[in-house]
Amino acid sequence: MAELAEGDVAPEVSLPLGGGGTLALADLRGRTVVLYFYPKDNTEACTAEAIDFSGLKKDFEAAGASIVGVSPDNPKKHANFASKHALSIDLLSDEELKAANAYGVWVEKSMYGRKYMGVERTTFLIDGDGRIRRIWRKVRVKGHAAEVLQAVRDLAV
């Protein structure tokens, strides 16, 4: 599959929510969507990223954007993660890796010389028409949520 690029139509996904129910990207059509993929609940960087996005949720909403986090964790883990860290953003469960594969973020990684498959921390900014407007790959968490917020605000101008 070819790597997604800015300007492409965002692949449609419908996944279970951490708090119950499901959420489809189509449900958010007409709004800007920040779709961010992260490897695992309750790890240091993933927790920091979710807390940062939650802390800016009101600012994102004021700019007309919804924030959606996606990882392979199951809905129960997401619910516990959200409760433990007072997260206010939607977390989707991608246990079957449908979204991760559709967005090209399920990749070979390497740690201490050992290769394994995992989610590459990536954020997609999707406009109200469902087009990808910006992609951040191999995200460094510090300052990332604020940078994405600025991009959302720039998109609204």
- Residues involved in catalysis: 46
Strand ranges for 13-157 from DSSP E: 14-16, 22-24, 32-37, 65-71, 90-93, 106-111, 114-119, 122-126, 132-136
Q: In the block, which residue shows the tokens 């953003």?
A: 89
Q: Apex CA 42: angle with CA 48 and CA 84, to 5°?
A: 90
Encode 88-125 in three state secondary structure.
CCEEEECCCCHHHHHCCCEEEEEECCEEEEEECCEEEE
Q: Is 36 strand, coil or helix?
A: strand
* Helix or strand run (H / E) with residue 56: none
